Amino acid sequence: MTKTFAEKSRNKTFLGMFALVSATSILFNSCNQKKDKKESEKLIPKDHPVAKIVPKIDDENVPADKRVIYLTFDDGPNRGTENLLKILHKRNICATAFLVGKHAYGSKKQQEDLELLRKDQLVELANHSFTHAHNKYTDFYKNPIGVVQDFDAAKDSLKLYDKIARTPGRNIWRLNNITVTDLKSSTEAANSLKKAGYKVIGWDLEWKPTNKMELKGNHQAMLKKVDSIFFNDLEKTSRHLVFLTHDQYLTDTDSVNELDLFIEKLQKTNRFVFRKISEYPKINEVLN
């Protein structure tokens, strides 16, 4: 059976079939903010080179020819947070920052960055634990009660009133309609978070780092991955893709430029809506 857009095309990829759309196309964007007045501050040098079927969830607020992308950034406030904010304002686009509680007190700069995040209307804040599991994930998830206490500590210290969370070191989902655990040893801890009222969000696509903590690969490769996920119905929720990367990968010029180009190219197709994670389908339901 031939798929048609928005059901995908047999002959052309989701992004590819719009490669000739004018760069002046207007983005259908739910983040209705004023254009950044510092648009002239360019982040990119002039010489920079430019299977599984998921249930269909209709969203009346998204036209049938659109796809929704949720840009999410973990581990802030951290090195690179300020660069992240510059990109968001340059592109006038919203995102969700999953914060680590202890990072808010790690240094004066991190405290200042937290205040920048709090005041920024383009950014939504969410919970990524207090300790980040001390980077000892196996031990952390062996203690479900301790996991919940760690997230509670982050919620209270950061004054996060919406219990949207992401687990450190694990791609876990716990919503009423989505239950995913990447490692079975974390199942009990994940269930405990849901029982405590946390809406746990993982991701569909991650932009990973090199061993130098820089973004690995380039924006063209990431665009192809977005294309592939939508084409093959690999999203957890049809037509909705949760994208993940980390603040600390945005400290070098190349990484900043590649993320900026990635967002720019998505915008120029005029086929995407960008939203904060609190607008993810069914996330606001009371957990059973």
Q: Per-residue confidence at 254, pLDDT binned at 50, 70, 90?
A: very high
% of the chain beyond a pLDDT of 70? 80
Q: Per-residue confidence at 60, pLDDT binned at 50, 70, 90?
A: low
Q: What's the pLDDT tens digit per position in 167-189?
A: 999 999 999 999 999 999 999 99
Averaged pLDDT, 16-21 = 45
Q: What is the pLDDT of residue 36?
A: 43
pLDDT above 50 (res 46): no
Task: Please state the length of the chain.
Answer: 288
Q: What's the pLDDT tens digit per position in 217-242?
A: 999 999 999 999 999 999 999 999 99
Instruction: Name which of 274, 245, 272 is nearest 258 in CA terms.
Output: 245
Beta bridge partners of 243: 71, 205
Q: What's the pLDDT tens digit per position in 257-281?
A: 999 999 999 999 999 999 999 999 9
- b/e code 106-128 from CB counts within 10 Å (16+ = b): eeeebeebbeebeebebbbbbbb
Maximal CA-CA distance, the chain: 58
Q: Domains in the chain, start-ordered, CATH in brackets?
A: 66-279 (3.20.20.370)
pLDDT above 50 (res 9): no
Averaged pLDDT, 98-121 = 95
Q: What is the pLDDT of residue 16?
A: 53
Lowest average pLDDT, out of 7-11, 13-17, 170-174, goes to: 7-11
The pTM assigned to this predicted structure is 0.84
Q: Which helix (H) or strand (E) holds 176?
A: none
Q: What is the pLDDT of residue 99?
A: 98
Averaged pLDDT, 92-114 = 95
